[in-house]
Amino acid sequence: MMGIIYLFFSGLFNSIMVSFNGQLGNYHSLFAVTFWVHAIAAVILFIYIPLVQKKKITFKGVPPYVYTVGILGVTIVAASSLFTKVIGATAVLSLSVIGQMVVSAVFDHYGLFGVKKIPFKKEQIPAYVLVLIGIMLVING
């Protein structure tokens, strides 16, 4: 149950973040917004991890491909900053949800990158279609 509550709040925070990223775009360039978002996060985490978690920050033993997450993070922040001003936060988040669902289904189906292998079933296709229809209704009214 706590996991569900945590994920709910994660979604709320994501919506707030996307909206604020779009607002930051009114004051800074796209790459400046991306830089400041990640710089502030890095400073907070460099303080939090050693003090609260009592752990040393290390990069040993981690497969190199995992660090592409930094590139993905920059892309996500930049895209949300740019497109929130163009199409709005609801459209940005709705379109990102279907993208997340499709990629996650592929990862689950093949058990990629250590995720639990959960085969995709053709019976799930209508759910994806309904999500797409819902997104179109949300975006276009």
Q: Do 78 and 112 fall within a single domain?
A: no
Give the model's pLDDT for residue 55.
Answer: 82
The model's pLDDT over 16-74, given as tens digits with 9 standing for 90+, comes to 999 998 888 889 898 899 999 999 999 999 999 989 988 887 878 888 888 899 899 99
DSSP-derived secondary structure for 9-45: HHHHHHHHHHHHHHHHTTTS-HHHHHHHHHHHHHHHH
Q: Do 124 and 78 fall within a single domain?
A: no
Q: Do 53 and 106 fall within a single domain?
A: no
> Where residue 5 falls among pLDDT bands split at 50, 70, 90?
very high
Q: How far is C-alpha 96 from the geometric centre of its chain's CA atoms? A: 8
Q: Do 18 and 72 fall within a single domain?
A: yes
Q: Do 118 and 67 fall within a single domain?
A: no
With a threshold of 0.75, does the pTM exceed it? Answer: yes
Give the model's pLDDT for residue 25.
Answer: 86
Residues with Cβ within 8 Å of 116's Cβ and at least 6 positions away in sequence, in order, are: 108
The model's pLDDT over 109-133, given as tens digits with 9 standing for 90+, comes to 999 998 999 999 999 999 999 999 9
